[in-house]
Amino acid sequence: MKRISIKFAALLIGVSLAISVGCIGVPGPGVGWMSIPIPVSPYFQGAYEDMAFEQDRYSQVPVLPPISESVPAGLDEPSDDEVVRLLEKAKPNNGGVPFLETRYRNNVKITKELISDYVDPPRFFPLVGPVQVHHVHYKCTVYYEQVIRVGWPIPYTIDKKDASEVIYIDKDHLHAVGMPENTQQ
């Protein structure tokens, strides 16, 4: 009888310790075993954050008001952040391989040149309505000093003082068009 009570007491202590550690047993709305935190690799977390950032900032096409004389040519020039992100996407693994080769860009200067700016004739898009597509094309040249550090088998550093890359960016957005005069609502 004494052995059973010792085992029962040990089991009771073990269960109480297990449910009182971390997020388990915390008062509030519970979702059962789903409330146990699962560690996520920093690589996957960073990739998800980058995907969400680009989706929120650059992947949506806004519908702007109708075109008038007050609308400037090349309405939305690409930001430096967008140019650098597209440069990194265009040259995968340009940062090198960790612990073997690492690449850095120093003294970055970006020039943006408007190549073309034109508007298509009005047409109807489902779920949007009658709109005009405004096309703007930019040539972005990125000038920088590149430093390449190789760590294996023999450590050395390469400095390129006049490196440059060219990226072409197409930015399209929609302009609303009023209802044609000859149609009835």
Q: Is the dihedral of CA 55, 95, 83, 122 positive or negative?
A: negative
Please tell me the distance from the alpha carbon of residue 168 to that of residue 185, in angstroms, as a whole number.
Answer: 42
Which residues lie closer than 8 Å to 86 by C-beta, 6 or more apart? 167, 169
Tokens of 50: 């980058």
CB-CB neighbours of 112 under 10 Å: 16
At 122, the pLDDT band (50, 70, 90 cuts) reads very high
Digit-coded pLDDT (tens) for 150-171: 988 889 999 999 999 999 999 8
pTM of the model: 0.67
Mean pLDDT score of the chain: 82
| Backbone φ, ψ for residue 85 (5° rounding) | -65, -40
Please tell me the distance from the alpha carbon of residue 73 to that of residue 116, in angstroms, as a whole number.
Answer: 9
Residue 144 has pLDDT above 90, yes or no: yes
Q: Which of 75-79, 91-95, 100-104 has the highest mean pLDDT?
A: 100-104
